[in-house]
Amino acid sequence: MTTRHGKAAILGGGIGGLTTANALVRRGWHVDVFERAHTLPGTGTALGMWPDAIDALTVAGRGCGLGGRVEKLGARQEDATLLRRDGKVIGCLGDRARGVVLLSRPALLGILADGLPSGVLQFGSPAPDLPDLAAYDVVVAADGINSAVRDRLFGPSHRPVYTGCSAWRGWVDGTVASMSETWGPGALFGITPRDGGLTNWFAAVRGPAGGTGSIDELRARYRDWHPAVRDVLDRIDPETVLYHDLYESPPLPAFVKGNVALIGDAAHAMSPNLGRGACEAMVDGATLADLLARHPVHEALQRYDQTRRRRTRRLVRASHALSRIATASRFTGLRDALVGAATRLGG
């Protein structure tokens, strides 16, 4: 099949947008990435790169080593354990947790930006309005969870909704070899390795949206949890702590409209419990670019919608379900027993 070329505008220079840009540039497309920030972020917590995301980077990079750079720079997860708040083991994930590479958002974005030719990524450039992008064959909306393009195409009724949980995230000095996630009534606490000789951590609690997320509140919430959790909390630097209410997308009727395609959080924001948000944005970008290189734009966009919308919808639902299980407030003893049995049986 003849490789097709064209001109693409990518609205947003995040993980999905830069993955798409790398993939399209290497397939002969002219690409302009519009990013309103003036530089790449200098701070950020770790992201789990599952094997299919690294494969997507390898495909996107077409021999330039993007996937290999992620594996080299990131910290490989060797194991994962689910714990009760007293430290007793609920279950071990074993081989199912291996193969994940943990890499900070700034490091990943740096790899993706370095893969692009000069001039493709335009910092300090807010996304033009869609009518002003008529010269482009395709417009890729990679403008995140608060996507203005999604609002324009499908209206405010499709904006992400609050999951019922809020989260703190950060990192501390020192390394850990494996990932652990501790479940207690109405809350969880995770500890993972990450690049740079650091330890990544995250904490999620059920409650109303709009809280202050103070450090005092965080420490008070977990003060009677097991020693590994308290050790991390004792060592945190408040300047490195992020706090967010967590949101997820309701089902969209389509990921495409006209010559516009939504990718990443603009299309399918999900709670972080599966660790799949960044991965799926990367797979979106690689898939879309491959289809655009092999099919006319209209057909490629329809194939992209058919390929990605059903799968990511399942992941949004699964991540929501896992969030409700992990932060359950009632019947936690029964939950722990059932989850422990499932892990032992390979579920």
Query: What pLDDT score was predicted for residue 76?
Result: 87
**Sequence-ordered alpha helix ranges (H) in 192-296:** 215-221, 227-235, 265-268, 277-294
- In a domain? residue 94: no
Residues 229 and 174 in one domain: yes
Query: What pLDDT score was predicted for residue 47?
Result: 93
- In a domain? residue 313: yes
**Sequence-ordered alpha helix ranges (H) in 115-268:** 148-154, 215-221, 227-235, 265-268
Query: What pLDDT score was predicted for residue 96?
Result: 64
Residues 152 and 111 in one domain: yes
Residues 197 and 152 in one domain: no
- In a domain? residue 99: no
Residues 56 and 112 in one domain: yes
Whether residue 279 contacts residue 206, with contact meaning beta carbons closer than 8 Å, is answered with: no
Residues 218 and 307 in one domain: no
- In a domain? residue 98: no
Domain that holds residue 189: 162-246+327-344
Query: What pLDDT score was predicted for residue 268?
Result: 98
Which residue is associated with the tokens 């900070």? 104
Taking the CA atoms of residue 44, residue 48, residue 49 and residue 51 in that order, the dihedral angle to the nearest 10 degrees is 180
Tell me which residues of the chain have a pLDDT lower than 50: none
pLDDT tens for each residue of 203-212: 999 999 999 9
Residues 20 and 46 in one domain: yes
Residues 150 and 259 in one domain: yes
**Sequence-ordered alpha helix ranges (H) in 90-202:** 105-114, 148-154
Question: Domains in the chain: how many in total?
Answer: 2
Query: What pLDDT score was predicted for residue 41?
Result: 93
Which structure tokens are listed for 299?
A: 């057909």
